[in-house]
A = this chain, B = another copy of it.
Amino acid sequence: MNRLVGADLFFKCENFQKTGAFKARGAVNTVIQLSSDIESVVTHSSGNHGAALAWATSLREMKSFVVVPTDASPFKRRNMERYGATLIDCGQELESRESVLHDFLEKHDATFIHPYDDARIITGQGSATVELLESECNVDQIWVPVGGGGLASGAILAANGNVEVVCAEPVLARDAYLSIQTGYRQPPLPPVTIADGLRSSLGELNFGILKAASTQVALASEDSIIHAARLVFEMMKIVIEPSAAVVVAAMLENPSLVAKRVGVILSGGNVPCPHEFG
């Protein structure tokens, strides 16, 4: 893989993290700060933040509710339920998600936890980068995927200007790229990329942090995302989901942006085993 990318790569394998994705970090950092009289929390998620929040709330014996798009991955639905979440279906559009969430909050006494536009979440996600920088890898650059921007803005804060953070984004969901180009937060594109964890709109806090650091955003096509996931499977023998493969794909598509010693955050591994495997 080093030869293919042309750099020394150091992978932070958040696919091995609790609940199968880095989202466990932000969720636990948020839930631990909640008042103990809170009984229920609610969020919206395509799956990984929902599972993380369900896991974190179960540690404090709180209930969790997750507004989930109807086309969410069945594997991720099962993962959320396994950790104790109650799922609430909404349509596939962002508007439907907002209205279903609004209705739920009107009728229930629950605390809303935003999946990424929240300082506690951002700080939690940043701990992946803290650990990477505290290791002896001595990286001079870190690549992270960007969707809502929780992981990316946490990485930028943790790197604190000492190490460059480059964001990777699917071409089909390039609102972060366009936001950085124009200097204004752009609306999300239709949620069609295979990288289902990166379909969401870049958050406001998150955009502010990316913009202040003049963050570069490298793009990856759908084909190269799939190719990257397959390379990691066959050469590294680990399972990553498309939203994680975006980083490897963007490095392969943008070699001129890649430094010499690169930390690569593989964000998650929540994909079903194909039927034909084994």
- Inter-subunit contact B234/A237 (CB<8 Å): no
Number of A residues near B (Cβ < 8 Å) is: 28
Cα A75 to Cα B277 with chains together (Å)? 14
Contact with B along A200-232 (1 / 0, CB 8 A): 000000000000000000000000011101100
Cα A230 to Cα B277 with chains together (Å)? 7
Query: Within 8 Å CB of A75, what residues of B?
Result: 234
Query: Please, which residue of chain B has its CB at the minimum distance from the CB of A226?
Result: B278
- Inter-subunit contact B269/A229 (CB<8 Å): no
Supposing A238-B238, A239-B237, A239-B239 touch, asked if A277 and B274 sit within 8 A by C-beta, the answer is yes
Tell me if A16 counts as interface (CB < 8 A to partner B): yes
Query: Please, which residue of chain B has its CB at the minimum distance from the CB of A20?
Result: B237
- Inter-subunit contact A242/B20 (CB<8 Å): no
**Separation in Å of the A266 CB from the closest CB of chain B?**
9
Query: Within 8 Å CB of A237, what residues of B?
Result: 15-16, 20, 238-240, 269
Query: Within 8 Å CB of A226, what residues of B?
Result: 278
- Inter-subunit contact A234/B278 (CB<8 Å): no
> Which 4 A-B residue pairs are closest in the complex by CB-CB distance?
A237-B269, A274-B274, A229-B278, A226-B278
